[in-house]
Structure 1
């Protein structure tokens, strides 16, 4: 019996060795497979990230083109409402010119021109255009005024102040669109 036990023990050892080596091979295969997957996973992740990046860049480029086109369209039609409001003023000016050729009454012509001027002034004020209120003796402000020249101040209190206004300044919705041209005292 001892030979049988020994033989069985040897068989069991061989089976255990075979099983252990099979398990070791299986673990090694799993490790190799895991390594391959870890190598594949970053590559797949990188490809996915590249795809997302390319799509995002394409979307941004389309957005940029669309907004540029909208901006161009807006600038082309931005003054349309102002022009529509100015057309009646132009018509009135043409009628005034025609009546000037036909009539010799200066007072009637002046009244007609005054009416057209007030109409033009009203339209521009509705759109936000306002003349700057500047008078001789006001302080010089470089944010609102443009000094054309300096002259000797006629009096001491006018030194560094506005002596004369050459050209009115205008604001459009509280933004200066034309600086007032002034002469300041030195």
Structure 2
């Protein structure tokens, strides 16, 4: 009898343990499911955070790119306007100098005729005025384009008015009819020349 009681107790304990184990297993499964659900929701939140961070990073990179392009455009604009302003200052008095070039031509012709006369005082007086005018204009940036008879004709630096038959001077300047002038690096009037053919 004692043996039966022990066995009954033991069996009831085993059954009780099994039930406890099943309850624990069930709780563990439920806990695991809850943990799994929590992990899934945390993973989804993390993915959303990462995608938001990626989006913000892309937006930031895009804005940086726009800023750098705008900055580069502004720097190019500053350089271009500075260069244009310098060019404008160099050639600001171009119209006035162009208007005075015929006066220089007239002085050249007058000097040739006055030198033919025998009046030395008149020749010296006109020469002084002519030199003063030239000095003043040259101080404002005007330069004469150096072209003379015998030079090879270059259309970039002279304007051919006509051609004359001259076998020995073929492709060369035979005569300079009108002087050319430049202001800085820009030619404002090309020399007019006759070339041989």
- TM-score, normalisation: structure 1: 0.64
Length-normalised TM-score, structure 2: 0.61
2:20 — aligned with what?
Answer: 8
CA distance, structure 2, for counterparts of residue 70 and residue 174 of structure 1: 17
Alignment length (residue pairs): 161
Q: Tell me which structure has the larger Cα radius of gyration.
A: 2
Match of 1:29 in 2: 41
Specify whether residues 139 and 74 from structure 1 end up closer, same or farther in structure 2 by C-alpha distance, changes over 3 A only.
closer
Map of 1:111 onto structure 2: 124
Unaligned runs of 5+ in 2: 1-12, 98-118
Question: What does 1:137-152 align with in structure 2 at a 5 Å threshold?
Answer: 137-152=150-165
* Matched ranges for 1:71-86 at <5 A: 74=86, 77-78=89-90
Q: Distance in 2 between matches of 1:144 and 1:119?
A: 27
Q: 1:158 aligns with which of 161, 166, 169?
A: 169
Are 1:17 and 2:21 matched, yes or no?
no
Q: Segments of 4+ in structure 1 off by > 6 A?
A: none
1:36-75 pair list within 5 angstroms: 36-53=48-65, 55-56=67-68, 59=71, 74=86
Match of 2:133 in 1: 120
Aligned match of 1:132 in 134, 146, 158? Answer: 146
Provide the alpha-carbon RMSD of the alignment: 3.5
Residue number in structure 1 paired with 2:195: 184
Where does the alignment leave 5 or more consecutive residues of structure 1 unmatched? 87-105
C-alpha spacing 1:78/1:159, structure 2 compared with 1 (3 Å) = closer
